[in-house]
Amino acid sequence: MSIIAHTMEYTGGEMSSPSLTLRSYADRDYPSYSEAYNDCFAGMRRALGLVPVNCCDTRGVLLNKSENIFILEIDNHLAGSVAIYKNEIDDLFVAKSYQRKGYGKGLLRFAVACMQRMGVSPIILHVADWNRGAISLYTKNGFRIVKTETV
């Protein structure tokens, strides 16, 4: 099966940090992080015929990347997360019960603002064409498609 994937690049102006408070990933986050991650990406992976459907990294791998993974908590519950690797935004997700409340936009804006403070450019992300909601969110927040490929 082939998948159409887009590389998107931030072309907007200076991004101010949202009023969300994020913290670095910690080992104690693994149960809720892996559950929310798998829950958010399973539908897309099923639709695209990707196996395994549950694809969250192992506890050890996530711990090794903890300085790059940021967690959003609402009332002591994991509401979402975003990862920043060099000039790439990755693994942005919002737990199902927190979706449609602006947290995805907040996580995206946090990542862009953080990368701008570090002087990172260009800021990119990758998204499957199937994920039209994410593409819309990214486009509304200053990203544009710079490359499309079939994988």
Give pLDDT, residue 54. 82
Q: Please state, in angstroms and rounded to a whole number, the distance separating the CA atoms of residues 45 and 54.
A: 8
Tens digit of each residue's pLDDT (9 = 90 or more) over 108-125: 999 999 999 999 999 999
> What is the residue range of 41's domain?
4-150
Instruction: Give the burial class of 32: count Cβ atoms within 10 A of its Cβ; 0-12 exposed, 13-18 middle, 19 or more buried.
Output: middle
Report the distance separating Cα 3 and Cα 103, nearest Å. Answer: 27
Q: What is the CATH number of the domain that holds 73?
A: 3.40.630.30
User: Rounded CA gap, 142 and 66, in Å?
Assistant: 27
Task: Give the mean pLDDT of the chain.
Answer: 94
* Total structural domains within the chain: 1
Task: Examine the pLDDT at 96 and tell me if it is beyond 90.
Answer: yes
Provide mean pLDDT across the span 78-96.
Answer: 97
Average pLDDT over residues 133-147: 97
The DSSP call for residue 12 is: S
Task: Answer whether 62's CB lies under 8 Å from 90's CB.
Answer: no
Half-sphere exposure of 138 (CA within 13 A, CB side): 27
**Block residue for tokens 């549950």:** 54
Q: How far apart are CA 56 and CA 103, in angstroms?
A: 21
Q: Which two tokens stand for residue 108?
A: 């995206």
What per-residue confidence (pLDDT) applies to 1?
67
What is the number of H-type helices and E-type strands within the chain?
A: 4, 7
